Structure 1
């Protein structure tokens, strides 16, 4: 594999599992020095050990991304240690379920703090550093619920929709300093939280059947997309939203005849 991220420093929030973990592995394979953060040290250490065993460079910092002070100190500490941060991946998120009627302000706040405020805090902290070094790449991870509604996920949908709007503004404000800001919107991805939310194999099969590619995506596929946006191969891409959902969001679900039967009309 090419070393497209040789000598680059990448900071990844929510890096101890799922898409964050896969992104850390992929970026390390591409030559980056990876720093991952989350609230659970044992999980962070496990991922770092995995990367070291594969010959990559990685370290971790324990931080609560819902605290502006915590994430700012973490980012500033990494910048001081390595003299720069080339890539920030705002991947950490919180999903708190509940219908609009039954949920309360705490549920709403949990979604906003974990999935939107955290993106704001991380971006705000890293922008001055990237401006001083005259460049950088920020990739914010949103969700398919920013495009397609799901009952019980109003707070999460609002937060992830906010990530898209926020990122476009950040892209405009960072452009003069060669700072690129983009969004990746994953669809249904076979991560532990997603699989845990599916009650049985029949439900999983139904979920897959409703995706044009007829399968869930993998964390590694999303990691590859995020990594591409971090590299110079994506040097002219900023303010963009890349949807990686197996085609789910491009299909209008209506009762139509099979394509073959339309040929004779």
Structure 2
């Protein structure tokens, strides 16, 4: 590996599974000290153990990003323990599923508490801590926030909010050399998408909607986050990078 993140300290929320775990792993492979955040201790411990076993540096904090006080306190604890924060990846999200006509106000707000509020709290605290030395923030949106998705109206709205919030944050952070960018995942194979990819037929039908004709892997998404977090992207801020096999760039209809 090239050690692109040598001597960097990174936080990855939602780091116990899926995209978060893959991102933490890739960052550790490139030399970062990575601290994974999540609500459940067991998967966090597993990710840290795997990273350390492979020669990387990692730690974890049990923290619910929908709890402002607990989340901010955990970020501050990382800075107290490791002396700084160079990279903040706001990956944690939550969603409710169901018809708009049946959605309760509680269901609607549940999409925003983790996905939008958590991203706001994580970005705000990171920007406060990065004022002196700069840094990189990468926020995770979704293809649902680009198109809108039936039965996921709350989540679609929340992820669209993350994208425009991040653009504003990029403008505000630029003077202090704090970059803020967005990665937009398409269909990535994780535990969260297991239901829609439950068998070969479902997988094939999903692949037909994607120009590259396949579902993405978590490591492919992690590589995009890694790039934007690294100094290789030092002149990139306020950008949105779609990692979706071409889905968001084309009105694509599969032909037999």
Same fold (TM over 0.5): yes
Q: Which residue matches 1:39?
A: 39
In 2, are the aligned partners of 1:10 and 1:86 still within 8 Å (CA)?
Answer: yes
SS for the counterpart of 1:196 is: coil
> Residues of 1 paired with 2:100 and 2:126: CA distance?
34
Match of 1:27 in 2: 27
Would you say the 8 A contact 1:181–1:238 is kept in 2?
Answer: yes
| Bigger Rg, structure 1 or 2 | 1
Distance 2:194 2:203 in 1: 8
- Partner Cα separation in structure 2 for residue 110 and residue 167 of structure 1: 20
Distance 1:28 1:200 in 2: 33
Q: Contact 1:98–1:107 (CA<8 Å) still a contact in 2?
A: no
Unaligned runs of 5+ in 2: none
2:100/2:151 contact within 8 Å kept = yes
Q: Which runs of 5+ in 1 are unaligned?
A: 259-265
Query: Tell me, what secondary structure is at the counterpart of 2:187?
Result: coil
In the other structure, the counterpart of 1:64 is: 64
Does residue 125 (structure 1) correspond to residue 136 (structure 2)? The answer is: no
Q: CA deviation at 1:254?
A: 6.0
Shift of 1:199: 4.4
Q: Partners of 1:199 and 1:26 in 2: how far apart?
A: 27
For 2:95 and 2:214, the matched residues in 1 are separated by 23
1:150 offset after TM fit, Å?
1.4
Conserved? CA contact 1:136–1:180, under 8 Å = yes
Q: Deviations over 1:183-237 (max 9, x none)?
A: 0000000111102233432121110111110100000000000001111100000
User: Aligned pair 1:7/2:10, yes or no?
Assistant: no
Q: State the distance in 1 between where 2:49 and 2:61 align.
A: 14
> 2: distance between equivalents of 1:125 and 1:233?
24
Matching of residue 193 in structure 1 with residue 192 in structure 2: yes
* Structure-2 residue corresponding to 1:261: none
8 Å CA contact 2:209–2:253 kept in 1: the answer is: no
CA distance in 1, matches of 2:249, 2:233: 24
Judging changes above 3 Å, is the alpha-carbon distance between structure 1 residues 52 and 254 closer, same or farther for their aligned structure 2 residues? closer
Q: How many residues align?
A: 256
In the other structure, the counterpart of 2:182 is 183
Counterpart of 2:60 in 1: which secondary structure?
Answer: strand
C-alpha distance in 1 between matches for 2:252 and 2:225: 29
The alignment's TM-score, normalised by the length of structure 1, stands at 0.94
